[in-house]
Chain A
Amino acid sequence: MTEKVKIRIDGEVIAASAGQTILEVARANNKYIPALCYMEGLSAVGACRLCMVEVSGVGRLLPACTTPVQEGLAVATSSPQLQSYRKITLELLLVERNHVCAVCVSSGHCELQALAQDHGVTHVRYPYNYPRLTVDTTHPRYVLDHNRCVLCSRCVRTCAEIEGAHVWDIAGRGIRSRLVSELQRPWGEATTCTSCGKCVQACPTGAMAEKGWGVEEMTKKRAAVSRLTSMREGQ
Chain B
Amino acid sequence: MKKIMIDHVTRIEGHARITIKLDDAGQVTDAQFHVTQIRGFEKFVEGRPYYEMPSITSRICGICPVSHELASSKACDAIMAVRIPDAAVKLRELLHCAQFVQSHALSFFHLSAPDLLLGMDSDPVKRNIVGLLEEHPDALRDGIALRKFGQQVIERLAKERIHPSWVVPGGVNVPLDPQAREKTLAEWPVAMAIVKRTLALWKRTLDGFPNEIESFSNFPTMYCGLVGPDGSLRLYDGNLRFVDPDGAIVADQVKPDDYATYIGEASLPDSYLKAPYYKPVGYPDGMYRVGPLARLNVADRCGTPEADAELEEYRGRLGRIVQSGFHYHYARLIEAMYALERMQELLDDPAILGTKVRAHADVNNLDGTGVIEAPRGTLIHHYKVDDNGAITWANLIVATGHNNLAISRGILQVAKRFVDGNRIQEGALNRVSAVIRAYDPCLSCSSHALGIVPMVLELRGPDGQLLDEVG
Contacts and interface: CB of A to CB of B under 8 A. Distances in A.
Contact of A215 (B165, B360, B386): B165
Contacts of A2: none
A134 B173 CA distance: 28
A211 B51 contact: yes
24 contacts: A102-B55, A102-B59, A103-B52, A103-B55, A105-B52, A134-B47, A135-B47, A137-B49, A137-B386, A137-B389, A138-B388, A140-B362, A143-B49, A188-B388, A211-B49, A211-B51, A212-B169, A212-B362, A214-B52, A214-B165, A215-B52, A216-B165, A217-B165, A217-B168
Nearest to A132: B47
B163 interface: yes
B165 A137 contact: no
Interface in B29-76: 47-49, 51-52, 54-56, 59
Contacts of A215: 52, 55, 165
A47 B169 CA distance: 37
Interface in A120-135: 134-135
B388 A214 contact: no
A214 B169 contact: yes
The 10 closest A-B pairs by CB, nearest first: A137-B388, A215-B165, A215-B55, A214-B168, A137-B390, A103-B55, A103-B56, A216-B165, A138-B388, A135-B47
A137 B387 CA distance: 9
Contacts of B163: 102
A224 B243 CA distance: 60
A213 interface: yes
Interface string A199-218: 00000000000011111110
**Which interface class (under 10, 10 to 19, 20 to 34, 35 or more) fits A?**
10 to 19
Contacts of B388: 137-138, 188
Contacts of B390: 135, 137
Interface in B439-464: none
Task: Please classify the interface of chain A as helix (H, G, I), strand (E, B), loop, or mixed, using the class held by over half of its residues.
Answer: loop
B105 to A, nearest CB: 26
B49 A214 contact: no
Nearest to B389: A137
A134 B390 CA distance: 11
Interface in B134-191: 163, 165, 168-169, 173
Contacts of B386: 137
A214 B59 contact: no
A105 B54 CA distance: 12
A199 B169 CA distance: 25
B56 A214 contact: no
Nearest to B361: A212
| Residue among A188, A214, A215, A217 with the highest chain B CB neighbour number at 10 A | A214
A102 B65 CA distance: 13
Contacts of A211: 49, 51, 362, 389
Nearest to B52: A103
A103 B51 CA distance: 11
A188 B389 CA distance: 13
A209 to B, nearest CB: 9
Contact of A212 (B48, B54, B56, B360): B360
B47 A214 contact: no
Nearest to A187: B388
Contacts of A140: 362
B45 to A, nearest CB: 10
A211 B362 CA distance: 9
Contacts of A138: 388
A103 B54 CA distance: 9
B239 to A, nearest CB: 27
Nearest to A137: B388
Contacts of B173: 214, 217
A143 B49 CA distance: 8
A173 B328 CA distance: 60
A179 B389 CA distance: 21
Contacts of B56: 103
